[in-house]
Structure 1
Amino acid sequence: MRVAEALRVEAAQALPDAEAIHLDALEFVTPRLRRIYSQFYLSLVQRAPSLWSHVYRMTNEARPGGWTNRIRRRVERRDCQKLVDEIARIEPELIICTHFLPAEILSQQIGAGELSCPVWVQVTDYDLHRMWVHPHIDGYFATNSEVAFRMREQGIAPGTIHVTGMPIMPAFSRKPERAGCARELGLDPGVTTFLLMGGGAGIGGLSATARRVLDLPGKFQLIALAGKNEAELAKLQALAAAHPGKLAPQGYTNKVERLMACADLVITKPGGVTTAECLAMGLPMIVMSPIPGQEDRNANYVLEHGAALRAFDLPSLEYRLRYLMAHPGKLDAMRSRAQMLGRVDAAGRVIKTVLKKVEIHA
């Protein structure tokens, strides 16, 4: 959704006289399918990550024409009829999909002669799962050259593949001033600051992690972002009272770039967009608790390029933080690598590419 919103904002700026719509596909599917793609998925990755790893691998390796995919597509066609109807009502001149579900539904529509506008697909991880690949798609946007390589391996025509990076909101390309952002949180801009993130749903036992970090020696500050997890936020607030001036707990915010502007290092799950935002801000990472499958691949990308370290549990997190505080040169090197990987212009590159292919001109 954050990638789609970034593209909507960019499109609205490029074409002020046109209408750019961000459509949340899950608002137009049956409650059953919505539960599978949201509640069931979150429950599975939290309670049975090994099972999710198996599902991810199995669906990636399944034959497109196999019986499991035929059954899945039949169910999705039935449960996505409202989405199909809403797109028909809007009559768009082009569509960019930032999730594989609408991409697959629209591919079927084009194949059946029921949709004629161009459809593009923006992959939102540093990996390519087979469920992103469909016929009748006008073009694909890859986050990096390896994803583009994997697209070609899947039979996608090279001329339809564009390496643009991950679209992020414009705020991340205009890094806010650190001192002002730090003062908003009651922090000292001159002190080393860690940002602990758990994603929009606040997954990952943030309060336990924050407690372990706060027990470390040395002068530093910690921002802990709980997202929409009210229970974790309450625990963090109680912890902040016991560590005055050292912990700044935060709930859900749409100003993550202001928190990142205060930070020297981010401790986070390696979601695709979060990873892209950190890189755009030139922030090194310690990645923790990746979801098996797509987030494992995201973690591998930043690890291989020297922009991150990986912590497998709280003791390994403590060790890495102690090491970085004792070796500031290592943190500086990771920051340089992150800055080299950051792509702040991805949304603009995507919109310019699609506009070149249709009769719409900025």
Structure 2
Amino acid sequence: MTENAKKSEKTILLLSVSAGAGHARAAEAIRAYAELADPSCRVIHLDVMDYVTTGFRKIYTDFYMRLVNRAPTLWGYLYNYSNDARSDSSMEKLRRSLERWNAKALLREIANLHPDAIICTHFLPAEMLARLIARRELHCPVWVQVTDFDLHRMWVHAGIAGYFAANQEVAFRLRAHGIAANAIHVTGIPIMPAFAQTLSRAVCAQEFGLDPSRLTILLMGGGAGLGNLDELAARLLELRIDLENTCSQCQLVVLAGKNLKSLQALQSLAQFYPKRLFPFGFTSQVERLMACADLVVTKPGGLTTSECLAMGLPMIVNAPIPGQEERNADFVMEQGVALKAVDALALAYRVQELIAQPDKLSNMAARAKSLGKPNAAKTVFEHVLSSLI
């Protein structure tokens, strides 16, 4: 390789936080696109939690997960409280001091990598790096990718090169916080390149043993607040009674992820519903299962919501946790691409309502497709890379 070629190579560092899966998935989507588009560009993805103390990690990730699963109302209060808190309050100063003390290993790693640009898919590294920028200790541009359809104050910091927003409302809120309009880019939320492909429903259905002619419902997530996945599946499969057998031809695909207990319960239930219930554990082919679906029942995380929109899938959002998921749910409902289920009974009613109104389901699908931004990762990567040339 020539010396000029070496000089032209760029290093882009992606920083995420493993508090929920969405932030890491957004970073991985950018990295995956970069590998396809420009192999000469070195793109490195780091989880900030790998560079902090054990105690800080437990508070930031383990405590967060317990809180949203066991005390969602309390999490909603903290979300709103921290959004409204003054940046010069005693609690905010203490929080930033703890972060600064825990960030030393991360900052050393950044110095070792010498990145040409940094993209943060979580507000924590953005806040850490903003302090370095203010002290002129970091000289490469730092970009921020907001990973929800709403903006929390903790995403906003001085000295950031630019922001990538999920929608126009997030851009509006960024401007209201004093971010210059020319530093804001409405790109959508990065999702894996596979979601930008044109997939054949018939081909994908054959891969999973599904009937492409049947109305297919995809149930995703842990069903928090609604009951166990097998219980939800059983309730949905029984809807044929209410719908005068309309639903007897429906297929239900359920993704249990890494929850082996749920998967085993679903597999047992599937024996009573041959060719109608299809349970899966963790899969890297979600986009191919989505290509088979007519309706998705899911929790409204920013990444999952973006994937559904990219695939043109109407949604029923189930029991969103207060805070960012509630705001995401509000967005898709306002846009006419989702209904909301607050409990298992409401879920059964919403599914019944949509199956009985195929024109409404079709209109929701068309609207979802029009809102989808399957090329967000491409747009983000190319924008950052072009800014370095």
Q: TM-score range by the shorter chain?
A: over 0.9
Offset of residue 174 of structure 1: 0.4
Alignment partner, residue 299 of structure 1: 329
**Partner residue of 1:66 out of 79, 86, 89:** 89
Q: Which residue of 2 aligns with 1:156?
A: 179
The residue type paired with residue 59 of structure 1 is S
Task: Please name the residue that 1:56 is paired with.
Answer: 79
Distance 1:4 1:199 in 2: 23
Contact preservation (8 Å) 1:201, 1:227: no
Which residue identity is paired with 2:234? Answer: R
Structure 2 partner of 1:169: 192
- Helix, strand or coil for the counterpart of 2:80? helix
What is the CA deviation profile of residues 162-208 of structure 1, one whole-angstrom value per residue up to 9, with x for unaligned ones? 11111111100103221222222221111110000006999963222
- In the other structure, the counterpart of 1:276 is 306
Aligned position for 1:108: 131
- Assess, with a 3 A threshold, how the Cα gap between structure 1 residues 200 and 138 changes in structure 2: closer, same or farther: farther
For residues 1-362 of structure 1, what are the structure 2 equivalents within 5 Å? Answer: 1-198=24-221, 205-217=228-240, 218=247, 219-359=249-389
Partner of 1:17: helix, strand, or coil? coil
Measured in 1, the distance between the counterparts of 2:234 and 2:285 equals 24
Offset, 1:134: 0.9
Contact kept in structure 2, 1:204 and 1:289, CA below 8 Å: no
Report the Cα distance in structure 2 between the residues aligned to 1:204 and 1:152, rounded to whole angstroms: 40
Conserved? CA contact 1:202–1:232, under 8 Å: no
- Whole-Å Cα distance in 1 between the matches of residues 276 and 386 of structure 2? 51
- How far residue 241 of structure 1 moved from its aligned partner, in angstroms, is 1.5
Question: In structure 2, the residue corresponding to 1:194 is in which secondary structure?
Answer: strand
Identity of aligned residues (%): 56
Q: Deviations over 1:314-361 (max 9, x none)?
A: 1111111111111111100110110111111211211222223223xx
Q: Which moved more, 1:344-353 or 1:195-204?
A: 195-204
8 A contact 2:226–2:318 mirrored in 1: no
Give 2:52's aligned amino acid.
V
SS in 2 for 1:155: coil
Q: Deviations over 1:233-269 (max 9, x none)?
A: 1111111122111111111112110110110000000
* Count, aligned residues: 359
Which amino acid in structure 1 is aligned with residue 27 of structure 2?
A
Per mean C-alpha deviation after superposition, the further-off stretch among 238-247 and 175-184 is 175-184
Residue 278 of structure 2 aligns with an amino acid whose one-letter code is A
Q: Is the 8 A contact 1:192 1:221 kept in 2?
A: yes
Contact 1:49 1:291 (8 Å CA) reproduced: yes
Q: Which runs of 5+ in 2 are unaligned?
A: 1-23, 241-246
- Describe the SS at the equivalent of 2:43: coil
- Alpha-carbon RMSD across the aligned residues, in angstroms, is 1.7
SS at match of 1:42: helix
- Assess if the C-alpha contact under 8 Å between 1:280 and 1:339 holds in 2: yes
Q: Secondary structure at the match of 2:35?
A: helix
Asked if structure 2 preserves the Cα contact closer than 8 Å seen for 1:175 and 1:281, the reply is no
- 1:203, 1:272 → 2: CA distance? 20
Tell me if the contact between 1:196 and 1:225 (Cα under 8 Å) persists in the aligned partners.
yes
Q: Distance in 2 between matches of 1:202 and 1:224?
A: 17
Contact 1:196–1:266 (Cα < 8 Å) also in 2: yes
